[in-house]
Structure 1
Amino acid sequence: MDESTLRRWLDLCRQARREGGAARADALARLEAELAEAEAHAQGDAPDGDADGPVIVMDLAGYITAWNEGAERLFGYEAAEAIGQHVLFLYADDDGEVAELFLEQGSSLMEVRRRKKSGEIFWASLALSVDTDDSGSPAALVARMSEITERLSEQDKFRLHARIIEDSDQGILITDADERIVSVNTAFTRITGYSAAEAIGQTPDILRSGRHSADFRAEVRAAMRGSGPWQGEIYGRRKNGEIFPQSVTISVVRDDLGRITHAFSIFSDISVYKEAEARVQRMANYDSLTGLPNRTLLTQLVGHALNVARRNQVHGALLVISIQRLEQVVDTLGTEVGDELVCDIGRRLKRLLREEDVLARIDNGRFAVALLDIQKREHAGTVARKLLGALAAPFSIGLHDLRVDAVAGISVYPEDALDAASLLRFADTAAGRARQEGDGGYLFFSAEMNRRAKEHLRMESELRRGLAQGQLLLHYQPKASLRSGRIVGAEALLRWRHPLHGMVPPGQFIPLAEETGLILDIGAWVLEEACRQIAHWQERGLKVPPIAINLSSRQFDHHLPMRVQAVLDQYGLGPERIRLEITETLLVRGPEQVIPIMNELAAMGVGLALDDFGTGYSSLAYLKKFPISTLKIDRTFVVGLPGEQNDCAIARAIVTMAQQLRQEIVAEGVETAEQMAFLRGLGCDQLQGYLFSPPVAADAFAQMVIEDKRLALG
């Protein structure tokens, strides 16, 4: 057969598969007209060669004209079923590789995939030749076949499979029924660093990284015990201790009775792919200059946080900080100095934020700060002032001291918007307005929030002034014994005498002091003022009971014992003269941080009381570890006594628990004789409240002590 004829045969086969039906019949008719004589010669001719081997004869159009017994045995079709069909019905795949290989490679011997009548697909060795008529013209194609697998002995198969396993570029590990390694290949050693001698006899735990949970390990182990094939990614540990990611497939081998004899793991080191993935992820989500999240990642993080905020009904805010004069720096000192300045700005902002806040760079001169959980909307203004104040200080870069101008715009969730893109757009709009006003400050997107922020700022300024000008003072609320009725202590309570507004309730300015950090200065003043007053009473010969001083959680650091001792020394007081009251919110910081500080204070001889017990974080498991001498029942559980069943149950439980822990019990907010009688019946030690006395000035409290005023126990 010449090349032109064979190409036409190949084209016809493709067209027959592609078009089918009448179009195929027309295409065949065209070729049959050219090859009529050759086809007439070929039909009816029996194939030459070995009668036992599978032999198939086709006309030049690909239709089967002869089918011997060997072909019947191999394919399962009888001659009557096969003759007249196109040879494509035997193909495993819809392709025409036979003629194509014959044509392009010039070879009549090849390996192909075929399909038996049963549906089984197998590999066959195919020898293709051309049969000619008496004139030498092509008349038919003759295919002689043999199934490849039939030519492999069991020993050959074993050698082949062993060679494949050993030469595989994937690590292979085989364990026995006791999960002991019995075989590894060369790739296992190359990937893990363990030789076969080091691995065999061990368990796969020699590769354990320690990064996966117990549930994950149980899932993998279940696959090794026959729960079913498992595929996934696992972090392993090389012999040198290096952790590496691997793609793993795990399955088992069973004997004739279905019992598991071995398990095998096939794995690849995917470190390169993971590193590439991380690089792509970083390029997509992080600013290349500062390493901070970019706009894309910021939007994703804020979007996720908003979903959480909706469920928890909390507030959030987004700040856009616009930096000016960057272009002048670049124009004057060059790009390198400008880049370093941008990085320094990012570092300075980052240091001032909480770990849960998100700082992003959204373009050359703009940063964004996402405050994902704030208690009050006004807190965003406090943060903005702090950040802008930090940027006001000069930046030292090389020999240059550089200054920048900055403004901030703030949008608040959920008032301004419910999605990240809108919040960012609105904060940017507010920053633009702040830039136009030119005062270097910040603005909220909402006019109402701007008004409230200004009020917030005004009160903060006046509180700072009040602290400096002596407008703060302490009142003292006595604690009375429920056994004797005598005064056994007092709590120092902060008051602010405003020159214009009179006495400002603590609930209005204490939260503001906490937010702004002013509570540290106020707390230090309260400690010193209380100790000064106690020393003054002692100088007058007045023996006052211990005075309780409230501490903010922000004051509770490892320097606190030293600060307390310094004030006691300053006024010549013993530690028994004061009590320090802390709230349950302090315990949220974690016992491992709080307990050492509390132990140090207790070792000094300072008594510790847990205020507002039951209203916040109450970990009874840790409570016994805290060196607390006093528990105070919060007024919210006292107000319903003795008529409210739940309040009674809570009060009873607190008293019982404190008695078991040998702690003193004080009830706050007691206002009626019925409340007092119920608490006294429970075994409560002391009460504090308007039933006995409101908070009073220092002189009034001293007079009560002098007169030995007592609670009427009835």
Structure 2
Amino acid sequence: MSYGLFAFGWILLSDKLLFALAGSADIGWLSVVKGLFFVLATDFLLFFALCSVPAGQNIGASAIAQEMGPRRFPVWASYLFALAMSLAVLAASSTLASHFGERSLLLLFMLPVLVSALIGGLGPGLLATAFAAYSLDQTDGVAVRDWAQWGVVAVNGLAVSVLAETLQRSLRKANMQRQLLDSVISGTSDAVFVKDLRGRYLLVNRAAASLVGRQAEDIVGKDDFALFPFGIASAIRRKDRDVLRQEVATHEEQLTVAPGRTLDLLVTKGPVRNTAGHIAGLFGISRDITERKRFERELAQAAVVFDSSHQGIMVVDPGRRITRVNPAFTRITGYAPEDVIGKTPRVLSSGLHGPEFYRQIWACIERDGFWHGEIWNRRKTGEIFAEMLSISAAQGAGGEIEHYIGVFTDISHIKAHEAELERVTHYDLLTGLPNRRLLIDRLNQAMLRTAREGRSLAVCFLDLDGFKEINDLHGAAAGDALLVGVAAHLKSVLRSEDTLARLGGDEFVLLLSHIGSAEHCSTILDRVLEAASRPVPVQDRVLSVTASVGVSLYPDDQADPDLLLRHADQAMCVAKQAGRNRYQLFDPENDRKAHARRLQLGWLRQALEKGEFLLHYQPKVELGGGKLVGAEALLRWHDPRQGLRAPGEFLPFIAGSDLERPLGDWVIGEAVAQAARWFGQGLDLCVSINVSANQLLDGGFHAKMAQVLARHPDLPPHLIELEILESAAIADMEQAIQVMGQCRQLGIRFALDDFGTGYSSLTYLRKLPVQSLKIDQSFVRDMLADPDDLGIVEGVIQLASTFQLESVAEGVETPKHARRLRDMGCHVAQGYGIARPMPADQLPAWAARWQAGDNWLAHGRHMPSEA
């Protein structure tokens, strides 16, 4: 447009000036000179415009900018416009020629050239130029035949077209590149801003505006003092002045954008220069690194915890190779980081655990994400130590395992303390042999095991002959040394399954397990007498004694542990009276008892065939609220000769006999059927069934249970609970675990019966897949009067809680028992204080009365016996 005004003014004014100053004879050549001057002027303007266009533009950026920019008019439309406008001027030229002079008419012919070039560029401008030249030749009444005028039109048309095309391209390119730059600046997540030398913001993007919580239009034109508190603005201004004196610089800074909100920023600032190279302002790019700094601080804190922890920590990659350990790891194990990094944790293996142990650990980690337990490892010195180890799997955002973290504590001192406590509690301090407490415990286990296996147990009471005289003659120290020597000799001739205990003084007890016959027992006792009489070096002399031994055989002698010991003691007295240095069997009238056993088994076999056995059920209730949760199936014999008989009267005869498994199968079938009937009546009770060791360890036990459950498909399997004696599970631990695991897959529950009566309870409890611990009634019955029994009951309850098992107390006879058990955390109770065992058809009515209010646990009422 500027060029059009310039051209119009030049032609009009120059023509008038020529007419005013020159004569008619000079007008022709002056017009030529004027046209040449116009050509030179426009050429100069064209050269200046081309030099002003930035050189070396990025081709890729231009292409992107052109792609982003607005679409031009179609090419054919520009040409059509040039043609139409030129034709219009040509049509009007004859009419207009009478009103305008020759030179003024020249301006009219140049009008299509100028407009077409501005709209369409080079092509339409040249087309309009050609028509303008042609129009000069065709105009009627105007003598335009001067070659100079044609030259003026041609040169000016070409100049205008080229200049317009170049300017259009430059403007489009500059505009599109500006749009591209604006899009990049607006779209970036970094804050971008530009300031002038006075600190006023000339440009801010959305990220910068969001950073300070304002709109961009509210920031542009303002300085930092209008946006931030004075102290912050002053600090920013000082840093800006430092940037203006140097090149681009990057630094971290903190910016408080609102009360209580301070951001960590990574800021890059640099000077902005004008075309003359002078500094005209500065630019800045700020990245919010608050989260990154917080993560770095957390990492630093975690590193401090990792390095300063008193617990050993090791990090293992998914390939189970150690990648990192902390100083406590080195202190505990003796291994430096370079000793173990890149190796597997097997470098710590003590060799005390088999491959299956470690497979179970990793299986637990893969299933649950963690494992926690005790493990024995080996230090670099070769010393084996105990540790409490926790292993956790650390997962990434996608759920994949990134690494495993093992945290452990050296518990060797705890193990040593436990061992010392065990030694003091259960072992004789002088000889290191089991004391009376441990002896009774092992005797109970041995009796139970003997009853299951159908073999004999020999309880041998040994007293040293002449010890009192030696002790009086040589002193207590010599007597103690003699006792230690004799104990070592006796222990050397016993088998691993036998037990040698010292009761005190010169009295010892031997438990000889797995005795097949009296002759077998005699062979062992001969070795015992020989060992007891061996000389013992004591100080500067050699001392020797003999022994008198009394023997009671179980189950020939059907007695409890204390009675068995008394019988053996009585037999020992007989041996002393018979001349010492011998053994004497207690006579329990073996023939009479054997005959009674055979007779009893015959009656019991007939009872099974005739259907004389029946089941009574004793309810089990929650101590917390008195809810009826189950019932234990208890076997009864309706003896035609003596009436209803309790299990203690006939089960000992069945134990270990060929009648044990058939009777056990009948009990299971009947109890499961009754549970199904109750369930059909809407009574959800978990029925507990006692199972013997022989029955549990039978090869087809799992299949039998599956068949029984299949006959009652509507019964949920979890309503069946099998109670096993803890000693039964210990007898063959591996097989017991396998069978119980198979039954657990069927949904059947397990309870460990009479818990606390077995010596190995703590050792094997964590291996057995049980859900409940039943506290033996012998402890519950006297717990209110006997602190030892109370301590055992409380210990079992705490142990059940530790292993997340349900605790069930047997033999609850009074509300005082129930309340004390409840206060200790016991879950379930059964006993005469709640209900006596009853026939199956009576239990629903009892349950209705119990739930309707006859619930002495829930309401605190006393039993009839206490009322």
Aligning the two structures, in what range does the TM-score lie when normalised by the shorter sequence? 0.3 to 0.5
- Which protein is bigger by CA-based radius of gyration? 2
TM-score by length of 1: 0.40
User: How high is the TM-score relative to the length of structure 2?
Assistant: 0.33
Greater RCO, CA 8 A, separation 6+: 1
Q: Which structure dedicates a bigger proportion of its chain to helix? A: 2
